[in-house]
Structure 1
Amino acid sequence: MIDRVVHRVLGAVRFVDATVAQLEGVSRQLVVTEPVTIRAAELTFRRNRRNYYVLHRSSHPLLRAHHDQFEAPPALPAIGSLSFAVEVVPSTGSYLPRVATIALPRDPDPAAVNSLFTPLDLRLYRAPTAVPLAGWGAVRVTVRDAGGDAVPGALVRVVAADDATNLMGEGITEWRGRARGEALVPIAKIPTTSVAANGTGPVISQGIAITIQAFHHPGFDPETALPDPDDLEARRQILVAAPDPDALSDFLVASGVVNRVIRAGEVIYVVL
């Protein structure tokens, strides 16, 4: 006799490489395959063969009813009305740990952006000790505050110098040990040659001009918490849009800006 154990899952998380996520047409290399420990109060995850971490069960009283209802999910709680803090710790030193927030329940509509049937992508950022892949450029950044102290858990962004919306790469500064305040930002989308489009530059030039800047939350305490890149990015967008960014110094601090040229396969070093 075969016993069937069937229950409804609540979604899935997929960890993606923050550098590869900037590229197109590389979905197979996008997913991080190394084991990751994912912890959250009242949530249980199970890793499947596709390296998705399936949200198998929840002990939250408002989500228990979801496990056994298949035809239609319960009306309550409302979609996305519950937030859960998730701690992510990669098993090797290639990627940095992080925290994130997951909103549940997911939408049962397959066409929805936050659909139950679509895994939630969480980006993992390479540790400063990681080695960039062959052909990639890389920016190794040290972030210091006004007093010269290393800044932990800062978001480092590299964008095209002529287009601030063209994100080339991101990294997070280390908060542990001797590498505190250091970040690695691999850049995968550097052409070996480029053709000037405006007719004023060389017909063919090597390398691209980039702008490097860091942002950090002054209240971040690495002794009690892990960095939350999504929160830093949300704060950055508010800071950029603010009429008086200096008034938000307790909310987020921006470093100075450095402009450089980088070529495929080159590693450059910057202090912000």
Structure 2
Amino acid sequence: MTLVQVDRRVLGAIGLVDATTRLPIARRLQVSGRDLHLVWNRSGYAVIYAAEGLQAYSESFLAPASPVATVSIQVSVIDPEGQYLSRQATIKLPRDPDSANADTANSVFQPISVAMYRSPAAQVASGWAVIRATAIEKTTSQRLPWALIRVVQSAPAKVTLCLADWRGDALINVAGIPITTPGAGGGAVLVNEIDVTLEIVFDPVLTKISTTSDLSTLADPNAGYLPDPDDLEVRRGSLRSGSLSYKLAAGRDRADTLAVTFI
């Protein structure tokens, strides 16, 4: 028997989590990127051994070549079962390999968390507040593909992010809403609804869809596009957006059309 020493430098790892529960996703989804070499480990993380622009660094083990700067890598995540919406994300590599910094956010020992958003066909848990929504622009009655939907609660302060699919349909699901809460003012002592604001953010580079279109035969007008919800959240101040007031209740599951006027 011949022993062969194999040295491999780990650049980082990707951990996929459910955007609603923040729990790891047990299934292995399809994760890809340019010149990205991934290996899934037993903990459910996609471990990164190679990436574009980091070949010299990853192949120099004893005396690694220090990268000139952190490299931004674009990755795509696709769920073949369609329970989660496809998305892209930008990760920064390499991570800090110093074991003394293992507890820091940028450490190679800490996975890069990528949140996955449930599709309109996904299952929901009992007790969640659910809106099976279609996001449209009120003035044009056009659907808003890949819109980012922000559910804003004021007391306590909390923002839940959801995502529409290519048709503008979205599963808005909010966990953790109490069954009853103290009433305000001179009304009921206890109420089973909470007031929220639904903010809809739309990237104007995308093509909207007429509400009169036959979706069963319509081709995706933005074919090839993958949303980056994190990027939409960062850039939302420069994108089209509108909001409306809404009431949510734990365990309520309803369908609704969300018509917003962009400001």
TM score, norm. by length of structure 1: 0.80
Matched, 1:233 2:256: no
Tell me the equivalent position of 2:239.
252
* 8 Å contact from structure 2 (residues 57, 66) kept in 1: no
Instruction: Measure how far apart 1:121 and its partner are.
Output: 0.3
Q: Which residue of 74, 88, 91 maps to 2:80?
A: 91
Aligned pairs for 1:10-159 within 5 A: 10-21=11-22, 30-58=23-51, 60=53, 62-69=54-61, 73-78=64-69, 81-108=70-97, 109-145=101-137, 146-159=139-152
Cα shift at 1:59: 5.4
User: What stretches of structure 2 of length at least 5 have no aligned partner?
Assistant: 208-221
Give RMSD over aligned pairs.
Answer: 2.1
Alignment deviations for residues 89-120 of structure 1 (CA, whole Å, 9 cap, x no partner):
01211100001111111122324321111000
Distance (whole Å) between structure 2 residues aligned to residue 13 and residue 258 of structure 1: 35
| One-letter amino acid of the counterpart of residue 250, structure 2 | A
Q: How far does residue 204 in structure 1 lie from its aligned partner after superposition?
A: 2.5
Q: Distance in 1 between matches of 2:52 and 2:195?
A: 51
Counterpart amino acid of residue 188 in structure 1: A
Distance 1:200 1:122 in 2: 44
Alignment of 1:171-186 (within 5 A): 171-175=162-166, 180-186=167-173
Q: Is the 8 A contact 1:153 1:172 kept in 2?
A: yes
Q: Which amino acid aligns with 2:204?
A: P
Give the whole-Å Cα distance in 1 for the aligned partners of 2:17 and 2:180: 28
Q: Where do 4+ consecutive residues of structure 1 move more than 4 Å?
A: 198-201
Residue type matched to 2:32 in 1? R
Q: For residues 4 and 183 of structure 1, what CA distance do their matches in structure 2 show?
A: 50
- Distance of 1:41 and 1:216 partners within structure 2: 27
- Asked if structure 1 preserves the Cα contact closer than 8 Å seen for 2:49 and 2:58, the reply is no
Work out the number of aligned pairs and report it: 239
When normalised by structure 2's length, the TM-score is: 0.83
Q: Which ranges in structure 1 are unaligned for 5 or more consecutive residues?
A: 22-29, 240-250
Do 2:120 and 2:171's aligned partners in 1 also have CA atoms closer than 8 Å? yes
Show CA shifts across 1:32-61 (max 9, x none). 11221111001111111111111022353x
Deviations 1:151-198 (A, max 9, x none): 1111011111556x411x3211110xxxx11111111111112235x7
